[in-house]
Amino acid sequence: MQWEVEALDPTELQRLVLAAAPYIDRRILTEQIAEEERQRGQLRAFTEGWPPEPPTGP
């Protein structure tokens, strides 16, 4: 199940969560989504700093 959820577009996943859980605290959800976006940005910046893969083969 987790793989399927991770494969969803984040916007679609958020839409499904909001539709399925009308009693969710939306302020906390909004904060959590913002934190996850911040973490994704940090990870993206970190990996963009890696050197390119060296060519393989002879």
Here the tokens at position 39 are 């973490």
pTM: 0.54
Please choose, from the candidates 18, 48, 22, the residue with its C-alpha nearest in 3D space to the C-alpha of residue 32.
Answer: 18
Write the pLDDT tens digit of every residue in 21-30: 777 788 988 8
Q: What is the dihedral of CA 17, 43, 45, 57, to 10 degrees?
A: -120
Write the pLDDT tens digit of every residue in 1-50: 455 667 888 888 888 888 877 777 889 888 988 999 999 999 999 999 88
Phi first, then psi: give them for residue 24, nearest 5 degrees.
-70, 145
